[in-house]
Amino acid sequence: MSRIGKKPISIPNGLEVKIDGSSLKFKKSNNEKELDLKGHVDVKIEDGKIEFSPKGEDRQSRAYWGTYRALANNIVLGLTEGFSKQLEINGVGYRAAMKGKVLELNLGFSHPINFESPKGIEIFVDKNVVTIKGDDKQQVGQVAAEIRGFRPPEPYKGKGIKYLEEHIIRKAGKTAKK
């Protein structure tokens, strides 16, 4: 049995949740999200809580049970609180700056890298820390991974872009000949 799937999701004030066929529709002010359940799980909304249960007793529906509950919880958290990731830029001459909706990165290449901010994502730069905020957990993580991919941290000096909480394991450099 799914431990995650058993937990009900409480619906916060100001958030509307509707069941529309085999999909869940979430609405808060002018922001709307939809989760297509594809008929794999049953959903009930009672007493301000969303409860999920498997459609049948087969292995596939039990597998989807916890997954769809987690996806619905991420949508609720995203619409109420939002998600954020922070990246740290380390290296001499490595810089980041916002120019409108474009993140301009100088990462030691012969040219600057311009990254267009996708719809629904906000990017802020404070010295050497880039903060990515949005209401979709998957999209925030994907944007952070794409930015980190321009110059991943290297193990000798730690230069590059890393997650703020990430720890880079350093390697020993060459030793002098005796």
Tokens encoding 175:
């030793």
Which CB contacts under 8 angstroms, 24+ apart, belong to 107-113?
107/150, 107/151, 107/160, 107/161, 108/151, 108/159, 113/150
Q: Do domains 4-81 and 83-163 have the same CATH topology?
A: yes
Which tokens sit at 21?
Answer: 């066929």
- For 119-158, the pLDDT digits (tens) are 999 999 999 999 999 999 999 999 999 999 999 999 999 9
- CA dist 9 and 41 (Å) reads 15
Q: What is the pLDDT of residue 2?
A: 65
Predicted pLDDT at 1 = 59
Name the pTM for this structure: 0.88
134/129 Cα distance (integer angstroms): 17
Are the beta carbons of 147 and 161 closer than 8 angstroms? yes
Q: Domain residue spans in the chain? A: 4-81, 83-163
Please give the CATH topology (third level) of the domain spanning 83-163.
Answer: Outer Surface Protein A; domain 3 (3.90.930)
4-81: CATH number:
3.90.930.12
**pLDDT (average), residues 149-178:** 91
Tell me what percent of the chain is helix, strand and coil, each rounded to the nearest 5. 20, 40, 40
**pLDDT tens-digit map of 91-102:** 999 999 999 999
